[in-house]
Amino acid sequence: MNAIMLSLFLILAGHARQSDVRPPDFVKQIETVDRMDLIQRLMTLYLKDHKSDPRSIDELMRVFEMPATAGVDGWGRPFFYYTNGHDFILASFGRSGLPLAQTADPGGVSTQRNFDTNLVMINGKWAQTPLDVDR
């Protein structure tokens, strides 16, 4: 548990330094990708212990004693999360907060550089990320 908290701190601290040289919305996209990666790792651990996905991201954050900010995207909005107990969809609707049409082939990188591009993960695998955001 301490290793997860330390990695979250290092991720957030590293991005705070980047905010001086990158547009604020780009930094928010990077934070969102990092938080979604963290949630995916926590989901894997949760699934091993509970044999099903958590009912909500809030439940996942409580179980692993994570700060509330780990359960929201870089713009401060809760992630979209859906599960049937064994499969899940995790998404951020970007800067606009509105769901948009798919802009990439499934599993691909969007050709758009705008900050409204949805970030979508299905069962821990990226379905869509914006251009220029490492994943």
Specify if 134 maps to a domain.
no
Specify if 35 maps to a domain.
yes
How many structural domains are present in the chain? 1
At 99, is the pLDDT very low, low, confident or very high (cuts 50, 70, 90)? Answer: confident
The DSSP 8-state label assigned to residue 90 in this structure reads E
Parallel/antiparallel/unpaired status of strands 108-109 and 125-129: parallel
Render pLDDT for 65-85 as a digit per residue (tens, 0 to 9). 999 899 999 999 999 999 999
Token pair in block for residue 91: 């998404």
- Going across the sheet that includes 125-129, the strands are 80-83, 88-92, 119-122, 125-129, 108-109
pTM, 2 dp: 0.78
Sign of CA dihedral 114, 119, 81, 73: negative
Q: Which domain holds residue 33?
A: 2-129
Specify if 135 maps to a domain.
no
Render pLDDT for 4-60 as a digit per residue (tens, 0 to 9). 656 655 565 555 554 457 788 888 988 999 999 999 999 999 999 999 999 999 999
